[in-house]
A = this chain, B = another copy of it.
Amino acid sequence: MIVKLPDGRTFEYAGSAKLKDVLVTTDRQLLKTVIGAKLNGELVDFHRVLPADAKVELITIDSPEARPIYRHSLSHVLAQAVKRLIPNAKLAIGPAIDDGFYYDFDVEKPFTPEDIEKLEAEMKKVIKENYPFERSEVSRDEAHKLLSEMKESYKLELLEELPPGETISFYKDGDFVDLCRGPHILGTGQVKHFKLLNVAGAYWRGDEKNKMLQRIYGTAFYTKEELEQFLHMREEAKKRDHRKLGKDLGLFYFSEHIGPGLPLFTPKGEIVRYLMESYVREKQTRYGYQHVWTGHMVKEELYRRSGHYDNYVDSMFPPMIDEGIAFRLKPMNCPSHMMLYKEMGTHSYRDLPLRFAEFATLYRYEKSGELSGLTRVRAVTQDDCHIFCTPDQIQSEFSLALNLVREVLETYQFKDYRVRLSLRGSTGKYVADDEKWGKATTALKAALDANRVKYEPVEGEAAFYGPKADFLATDVLGREWQLSTIQVDFIQPARLGLEYIAEDGRTHTPVVLHRAVTGSTERFLGVLIEHYAGAFPVWLSPVQAVVLPITDKHAPYAGKVLEQLKSVGVRAELDGSNNTLNYRIRHAQLQKTPYMLVVGDREQQNEQVAVRLRTGEDLGAKGVAEFVHFIQNKIADKELI
Please give the residue numbers on chain A whose beta carbons come within 8 Å of chain B beta carbons, in ascending order.
250, 253-255, 257-259, 262-267, 269-271, 273-274, 290-299, 301-302, 305, 317-322, 325, 327, 329, 335-336, 339-340, 342-344, 356, 361, 363, 365, 379
Q: Is the interface of A mostly helix, strand, loop or mixed?
A: mixed
A265 touches B293 (CB 8 A): yes
B255 touches A295 (CB 8 A): no
Beyond A264-B339, A319-B320, whether A297 also contacts B329 by CB under 8 A is yes
B299 touches A257 (CB 8 A): yes
Interchain CB contact (< 8 A) of A294 among B264, B329, B340: B264
Bound CA span A462–B322, Å: 30
Q: Which residues of B contact A294 (CB under 8 A)?
A: 258, 264-265
Shortest CB distance A298–B (Å): 5
Interchain CB contact (< 8 A) of A340 among B253, B318, B365: B253
Q: Which residues of B contact A298 (CB under 8 A)?
A: 257-259, 262
The 4 closest A-B pairs by CB, nearest first: A267-B290, A253-B343, A265-B293, A255-B339
Bound CA span A327–B322, Å: 15
- Identify which of A269, A296, A325, A356 gathers the most chain B CB atoms within 10 Å of its CB: A296
Beyond A257-B339, A318-B322, A339-B255, whether A295 also contacts B344 by CB under 8 A is no
Shortest CB distance A566–B (Å): 9
Beyond A317-B320, A317-B327, A327-B317, whether A343 also contacts B255 by CB under 8 A is yes
Shortest CB distance A253–B (Å): 4
B259 touches A297 (CB 8 A): yes
Q: Which residues of B contact A325 (CB under 8 A)?
A: 259
Bound CA span A150–B552, Å: 91
Interchain CB contact (< 8 A) of A296 among B270, B274, B336, B361: B361
Interchain CB contact (< 8 A) of A329 among B291, B305, B321, B329: B329
Bound CA span A281–B305, Å: 38
Beyond A253-B340, A302-B257, whether A292 also contacts B317 by CB under 8 A is no
Shortest CB distance A359–B (Å): 10
Bound CA span A305–B257, Å: 10
- Identify which of A292, A295, A356, A363 gathers the most chain B CB atoms within 10 Å of its CB: A295
Shortest CB distance A300–B (Å): 10
B267 touches A336 (CB 8 A): no
